Amino acid sequence: MPASPAIMEAIRQGSWIRKMFEEGAILKARMGPENVFDFSLGNPYGAPPAPLAREIAHLAASPPPDLHKYMPNAGFPDVRRSVAEDLRKGTGLDFTSGLVVMTVGAAGALNVALRALLSPGDEVIVIAPYFVEYLFYIRNAGGVPVVAESAGDFQLDLDAIRAAITGRTKALILNSPNNPTGAVYPSEALTALSGILSGGEKRAGGPIYVLSDEPYRKIVYPGSEFSPPAASLSNTIVVYSHSKDLNLAGERIGYLAVSPDAADAEEVADACVFCNRVLGFVNAPSIMQRAVAGFQGIEADMSVYTKNRESLVATLMESGFSVVPPGGAFYLFPRSPAEDEMRFIAAALEENILVVPGSGFGRKGYFRVAYCMDPKTVERSLPAWRRLGSRFFGRKGGRA
């Protein structure tokens, strides 16, 4: 086999996702894309906010000197200062620019941080259900993923996390608000987690770093509140992306920031700068670094997500689905009405609804609904959801 057998095997294992997308593409070609309800993709809805679009246009039309050239691997110093200032406001911690590394999105940041921290065989705890890419990122750095299940409401199961800690535990990935569940972890849970990690560090013989992957932290619904993990957990590395708050997903712009309270914070930040270079990112795209510098404090436009969440949660619940209303992000993670969720997904496809099976997130028997789309499309999908409910739960719409 000319390509790496491990890579080809990973592709083969993921081929059902590709097949699903291909079926979706065939469906769109046959029905017209406007008649297919594609809830499978986490592509944020909308364009960048108008002031940011103007800033990008201004930078491109009147480029500052050296706009497109190499800068230090950690990013432009003034951009890093803007990020640090925003983090100081958000967390109350004394973040400095030296602890910030501008990165190729949150995916780049996670790979950089994991590579900076891990030695081969080191373990990293992930909370299921999880963003499936985490497993690849951990393995890229020679690490071993260790799965801790979340509680029934997708909140942290502290006992499960305690049980997952071993002498090789080096890090834990937190993702609040969560993809795929929408769970937002309250500060009490994070404080309790802090105690568990402190205890675990004695067993692990060194710090357990928390990689706080928080690209959805500005997408939080009334009744929930984002609690910055860095404020409760000293050994935190904040990982952020401007894909969601600024709708720049394709531009690959984000950052990581080592908490000033973290063990050997400066050494870890230096290791991250080095890894940003040698992993081949080199630096975050320069025009986008400049563009986002002035938009650190901006609020995300929640209007579309709020509307879609309301109508979908209400309709799915009325139709009999078991749904935990998400506290943040733009996903629902309902229980599948069929034990084998692939059977439900096939039925949904007959209604022109595309969703992702829970097994793609390490949790069988569920499915993910990404509602980052035009509310009119969501509105038009509601009868199809109701028909699905009738089909699986009967007309009364009783709970599964």
Binders of a copy of itself among 35-94, rule CB under 8 A?
41, 43-44, 47-48, 53, 56-57, 59-61, 63, 66-71
The yes or no reply on residue 280 touching a copy of itself (CB under 8 A) is: yes
The total of other beta-carbon atoms located within 10 Å of residue 379's CB is 13
CB of 72 to a copy of itself, least distance (A): 10
CB of 314 to a copy of itself, least distance (A): 28
CB of 94 to a copy of itself, least distance (A): 19
CB of 400 to a copy of itself, least distance (A): 33
Total site size for a copy of itself, rule CB under 8 A: 75
Which residues 175-194 are close enough to bind a copy of itself by CB under 8 A?
none
List C-alpha distances in Å: 218 to 76, 227, 296, 330. 24, 11, 11, 11
Q: Supply the DSSP string of 124-171, one letter for each residue.
A: EEEEES--THHHHHHHHTT-EEEEEE--TTSS--HHHHHHH--TTEEE
Strands 254-258 and 236-241: antiparallel
The yes or no reply on residue 295 touching a copy of itself (CB under 8 A) is: no
Among 90, 182, 207, 357, binds a copy of itself (CB under 8 A): 207
Of residues 88 and 277, the one with the C-beta less far from a copy of itself: 277
Strands (E), 215-352: 236-241, 254-258, 331-332
**Furthest-apart CA pair in the chain: how many Å?**
67
Among 151, 192, 263, 317, binds a copy of itself (CB under 8 A): 263
Which residues 321-350 are close enough to bind a copy of itself by CB under 8 A?
none
CA distance 123 to 208: 10
The yes or no reply on residue 26 touching a copy of itself (CB under 8 A) is: no
Which residues 208-247 are close enough to bind a copy of itself by CB under 8 A?
209, 247
Among 121, 167, 199, 206, binds a copy of itself (CB under 8 A): 206
The type of residue at 182 is G
Of residues 93 and 239, the one with the C-beta less far from a copy of itself: 239
Which residues 123-162 are close enough to bind a copy of itself by CB under 8 A?
133, 136-137, 140
The type of residue at 375 is P
Which residues 107-126 are close enough to bind a copy of itself by CB under 8 A?
107-112, 115-119
Stretch that binds a copy of itself, among 158-166, 277-285, 307-315, 339-347 (CB under 8 A): 277-285
The total of other beta-carbon atoms located within 10 Å of residue 204's CB is 18
Burial of 341 (0-12, 13-18, 19+ CB in 10 A): buried
The type of residue at 349 is L
Which residues 348-387 are close enough to bind a copy of itself by CB under 8 A?
none
CA distance 201 to 170: 9
Among 268, 292, 304, 354, binds a copy of itself (CB under 8 A): 268
Do 100 and 255 form a contact (C-beta atoms < 8 A)?
Answer: yes
